[in-house]
Amino acid sequence: MTNAEISSWAEREMLSSEDDHITDLEAWSVLKILTGADAPSTDRDWLYYQEDFAAWLARLAG
């Protein structure tokens, strides 16, 4: 997935959670971060890279 696709997916998940299907606060926290996956940086193309995504996945895996 591209950074833009990741950001869009996370945003859709958060918006659709009005039915409370996301109850894990850690997952919610990572989703909030992922909505900015397509954010540009001043010194590189993107604010987040593969290493960041891997760290968030490890965070969720506990």
From first to last of the 62 residues of the chain, give the pLDDT tens digit: 898 999 999 999 888 866 667 788 888 898 999 999 999 999 988 888 889 989 988 988 87
Name the residue ranges covered by the structural domains of the chain: 3-61
Expressed in angstroms, the distance from the first to the final Cα of the chain is 23
Half-sphere exposure of 6 (CA within 13 A, CB side): 19
Q: Nearest 5°: phi and psi at 12?
A: -60, -40
Instruction: Give the pair of three-digit tokens for residue 46.
Output: 């993107």
Q: What is the pLDDT of residue 19?
A: 63
8 A C-beta contact, residue 46 and residue 39: yes
8 A C-beta contact, residue 40 and residue 46: yes
